[in-house]
């Protein structure tokens, strides 16, 4: 999850807690603190039980989708394929370091963000997550990572174009997305070419659309839409 | 006593038979009505038209007021859609009529259908022309088959554009009416793509919140996602799902 993702999801969760309109400013204040100043020992980010990570990754989407998806698990040097799928979707548990570099939760080892990406997102978005994870696990500092990221987009080592229709599921009941509120929100994510959030009516009162992130350097704008159900079909709370 | 009982029994049997016959007749009539096309042709135009102020309000109800108050609003006139309100945010709100339903939909000419939607700027540029063209053909008095051919030809000749990336719309009006079968459905968002993208959104899988539609002859894929609140912020009741 990126910093903006975390902030928006946290804001949504905060809405659930009836903190209403004070939430964004409160969040901004919290951003200035640095609860996680540096990377924790790697073990804190790993899930020792491989099967548990596979199950958690799959829980991002309804079982009818995730049962045939490729599943990745995080190893000491990056993500590894644990299950070869056949429907083009890829499910994994993202960690917080996919966030922007100024995200105070960037090194939060508690974060567990199960996600299932559809085939266009697998081609356009997943390489960014995988590469960044490799760099993190190689022990680079945040400053080095930032330099590397800019260079990687400039050199086209990372995808600079976005396939149309890229989207992903984040409907796991067991996700830990943020330290805020109830830590979780069932939602879908939509990656669109760079655009102003007004093009989707995002973040307006009563709008179900929330802006999570916009580039550059990432070649996309990311919106989320909360949904009323977890991946197992049970009812999920939706922000006001 | 026995005679009396036999008489009662005979009368009861006769009454029961009559009831069974009547029930069968009702069932057959009901089935026949189901199979009958209730709206075989376009109704008189007046039945599709609305009070202008009411139509503006209905169109705007498709999206939260924070969005629709700055949108352009179109209303249906005798010769097509007209701009009733010039907007500032690039969104366009209008009330689709029944002829925007699929061509095989039994409500295609149902004059009570009202489908308010607010299209975002990419959709206003690339999807709204389909509504204009379809409405133009309907108001010109074409049959459903002729409209189908007209729309197909317009896409074939590239007179109608394909959806731009990021095309989407809001359909969150409490007053939306898809006809008697679907009623006012759930509030939802819709997303359009060229059919050639062959997209997989995991739609229609059990427990997936995504539905997919492809309406011939439109070479487009439409995804819809139900949301939990109407445009006024009120929650959808669980039993409405």
Strand-pair category, B72-77 with B80-85: antiparallel
Residue A73 sits at φ, ψ, to 5 deg, of -125, 155
Instruction: Give CA separation, B175 vs A130, B169, B220, in Å.
Output: 46, 16, 27
B212 Cβ contact partners less than 8 Å away, ≥ 6 residues apart: B201, B203, B204, B221, B222, B223, B224
**B225 vs A201, A206, A225: nearest CB:** A225
Which residues have C-beta within 8 Å of that of residue A72, sequence separation ≥ 6? A57, A79, A80, A81, A82, A90, A91, A92
Residue B19: predicted pLDDT: 52
What is the reported pLDDT for A22? 31
Q: What is the mean pLDDT of residues A131-149?
A: 89
CA distance B124 to B234: 27
Which residues of chain B are within 8 Å of residue A120 when distances are taken between CB atoms?
A: 197, 199
Task: For chain B, give the longest Cα–Cα distance.
Answer: 89
DSSP-derived 3-state class of residue B21 = helix
Residue B34 is predicted with a pLDDT of: 45
Copy the structure tokens of residue A208.
């179900």
Alpha-carbon gap, residue B182 to A107, rounded angstroms: 48
Sorted by where each begins, the domain ranges of chain A are 3-36+44-226
Rounded CA separation B77/B51 (Å) = 10
For A12-21, A150-159, A167-176, B160-169, which range has the lowest pLDDT when averaged over its residues? A12-21
Residue A167 has pLDDT above 60, yes or no: yes
DSSP 8-class letter at A204 = S
Query: In chain A, which residue's Cα lies nearest the Cα of B221?
Result: A165
Phi/psi for B7 (5° steps) reads -65, -45
Nearest by CB: A199 against B166, B172, B232: B166
Nearest chain B residue to A117 by CA: give it. Answer: B201
CB nearest to B66's CB, from A62, A192, A204: A204
CB A64 within 8 A of CB B210: no
Q: How confident is the model at residue A8 (pLDDT cuts 50, 70, 90)?
A: low
Q: Which residues of B touch A193 (CB under 8 A)?
A: 165-166
Q: Which range, of A3-7, A95-99, A179-183, B188-192, averages the lowest pLDDT?
A: A3-7
Residue B89 contacts A, CB cutoff 8 Å: yes
Residue partners of A198: CB distance under 8 A and separation at least 6: B89, B90
Tell me the C-alpha distance between B126 and B167, whole Å.
8
List of residues 6+ apart from A21 with CB closer than 8 A: none
* CB contact B70 to A (< 8 Å): no
Of B189, B208, B233, the CB nearest to A225: B189
How far apart are the C-alpha atoms of A174 and A179, rounded to whole Å?
Answer: 14
| Contact yes or no for A118 and B200 at CB 8 A | yes
Predicted confidence at residue A213, as pLDDT, reads 85
Name the token pair of B104. 């095989």
Verify whether the Cβ–Cβ distance A229 to B209 is below 8 Å. yes
Tokens linked to B212? 């997919």
Q: Which two tokens stand for residue B87?
A: 């907007």
Quick one: pLDDT at residue A237? Answer: 86
Partners of residue A233 in chain B, C-beta under 8 Å: 206-207
B228–A188: do the CB atoms touch at under 8 Å? no
Reported as a pLDDT band with limits 50, 70 and 90, residue A149 is confident
Using DSSP's 3-state secondary structure scheme, residue B146 falls into helix
Residues of chain B contacting A226 with CB distance shorter than 8 Å: 227-228
The nearest alpha carbon in chain A to B231 belongs to A206
d(CA A29, CA B195): 45
Residue B232's φ and ψ, nearest 5 degrees, are: -85, 5
Cα separation of B125 and B148, whole Å? Answer: 22
Q: What integer pLDDT is reported at residue B140 of this predicted model? A: 97
pLDDT value, residue B196:
78
| Residue A51: pLDDT over 80 | yes
Residue A222 and residue B143: Cα distance in Å, rounded?
Answer: 43
With CB atoms and an 8 Å threshold, state whether A226 touches B189.
no
Cis bond upstream, residue B217 (ω within 30): yes
Look at A1 and B52; give whichever has higher pLDDT. Answer: B52
Q: Cα–chain-centroid distance for residue A128?
A: 12
Q: Please state, rounded to an integer, the average pLDDT across all residues of chain A.
A: 86
Q: Which of B67, B127, B162 to mutate to test the interface with A (most CBs of A within 10 A)?
A: B67
Query: Contacts of residue A89 in chain B, CB cutoff 8 Å?
Result: 200, 202
Of A180, A179, A50, A61, residue with least CA distance to A114: A61
Give the integer Cα–Cα distance in Å for A118 and B164.
20
- Contact at 8 Å (CB) between A178 and A105? yes
Pairs across A and B, CB distance < 8 A: 121
- Do the Cβ atoms of B77 and B136 come closer than 8 Å? no
- Measured between beta carbons, the chain B residues lying within 8 angstroms of A205 are 64-66, 233
Domain ranges of chain B: 45-240
Give the up-direction half-sphere exposure of residue A20: CA atoms within 13 A in the CB hemisphere: 2
- In this predicted structure, what is the pLDDT of residue B236? 87
Taking the alpha carbons of A193, A89, A223, A154 in that order, is the dihedral positive or negative?
A: negative
Q: What is the pLDDT of residues A182-236, one digit of tens each?
A: 899 999 999 999 999 999 999 999 999 999 988 888 889 999 999 999 999 999 9
Run means of pLDDT, 10 residues per run, chain B, 241 residues: 45 51 48 62 97 98 97 97 98 98 94 97 97 97 96 97 96 93 88 88 89 93 94 78 52
Shortest distance, CA B128 to any CA of chain A (angstroms): 15
8-state DSSP, B163: P
- Asked if residues B128 and B92 have their Cβ atoms less than 8 Å apart, the reply is yes
Q: Is the pLDDT of residue A123 over 90?
A: yes
Q: pLDDT, tens digit, for every residue of B135-165?
A: 999 999 999 999 999 999 999 999 999 999 9
Interfacial residues of A (vs B; Cβ cutoff 8 Å): 61-65, 87-89, 116, 118-120, 164-165, 167, 169, 171, 188, 190, 192-193, 195, 198-201, 204-209, 225-229, 231-233, 235, 238, 240
**Phi, psi dihedrals of residue A5, rounded to the nearest 5°:** -55, -50
How far apart CA A136 and CA A146 sit, in angstroms, is 11
Mean pLDDT of all residues in A61-88: 97
């Amino acid at each position: 999850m990126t910093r903006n993702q975390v902030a928006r999801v946290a804001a949504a969760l905060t809405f659930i807690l009836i903190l209403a309109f004070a939430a964004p400013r409160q969040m901004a204040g919290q951003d200035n603190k640095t609860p996680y100043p540096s990377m924790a020992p790697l073990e804190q980010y790993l899930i020792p039980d491989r099967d548990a990570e596979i199950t958690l990754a799959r829980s991002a989407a309804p079982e009818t989708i995730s049962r045939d998806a490729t599943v990745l698990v995080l190893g000491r040097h990056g993500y590894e394929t644990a299950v070869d799928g056949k429907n083009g979707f890829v499910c994994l548990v993202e960690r917080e370091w996919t966030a922007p570099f100024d995200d105070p939760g960037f090194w939060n080892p508690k974060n567990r963000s199960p996600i299932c990406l559809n085939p266009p997102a697998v081609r356009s978005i997943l390489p960014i997550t995988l590469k960044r994870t490799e760099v993190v696990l190689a022990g680079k500092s945040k400053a080095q990572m930032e330099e590397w990221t800019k260079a990687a987009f400039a050199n086209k080592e990372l995808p600079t174009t976005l396939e149309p229709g890229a989207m992903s599921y984040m409907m796991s009941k067991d996700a830990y997305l943020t330290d805020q509120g109830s830590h979780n929100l069932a939602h879908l994510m939509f990656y669109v070419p760079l655009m102003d959030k007004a093009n989707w009516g995002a973040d307006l009162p009563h709008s179900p659309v929330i802006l999570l992130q916009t580039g550059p350097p990432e070649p996309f704008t990311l919106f989320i839409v909360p949904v009323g159900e977890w991946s197992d079909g049970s009812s999920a709370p939706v922000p006001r | 006593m026995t005679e009396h009982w036999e008489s009662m029994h005979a009368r009861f049997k006769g009454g029961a038979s009559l009831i069974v016959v009547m029930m069968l007749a009702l069932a057959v009539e009901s089935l026949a009505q189901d199979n009958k096309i209730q709206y075989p042709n376009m109704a008189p135009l007046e039945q599709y038209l609305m009070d202008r102020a009411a139509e503006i309000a209905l169109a705007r109800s498709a999206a939260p007021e924070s969005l629709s108050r700055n949108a352009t609003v179109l209303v249906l006139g005798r010769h097509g859609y007209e701009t009733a309100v010039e907007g500032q945010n690039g969104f366009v709100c209008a009330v689709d009529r029944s002829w925007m339903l699929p061509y095989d939909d039994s409500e295609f000419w149902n004059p009570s259908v009202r489908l308010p939607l607010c299209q975002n700027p990419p959709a206003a540029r690339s999807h709204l022309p389909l509504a204009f063209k379809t409405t133009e053909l309907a108001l010109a008095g074409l049959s459903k088959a002729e409209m189908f051919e007209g729309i197909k030809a317009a896409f074939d000749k590239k007179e109608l554009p394909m959806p731009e990336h990021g095309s989407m719309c809001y359909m969150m009006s409490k007053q939306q009416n898809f006809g008697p079968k679907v009623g006012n459905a759930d509030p939802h968002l819709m997303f359009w793509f060229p059919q050639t993208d062959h997209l997989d959104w995991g739609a229609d899988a059990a427990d997936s919140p995504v539905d997919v539609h492809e309406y011939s002859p439109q070479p487009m894929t439409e995804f819809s996602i139900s949301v939990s609140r109407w445009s006024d912020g009120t929650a959808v009741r669980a039993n409405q799902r």
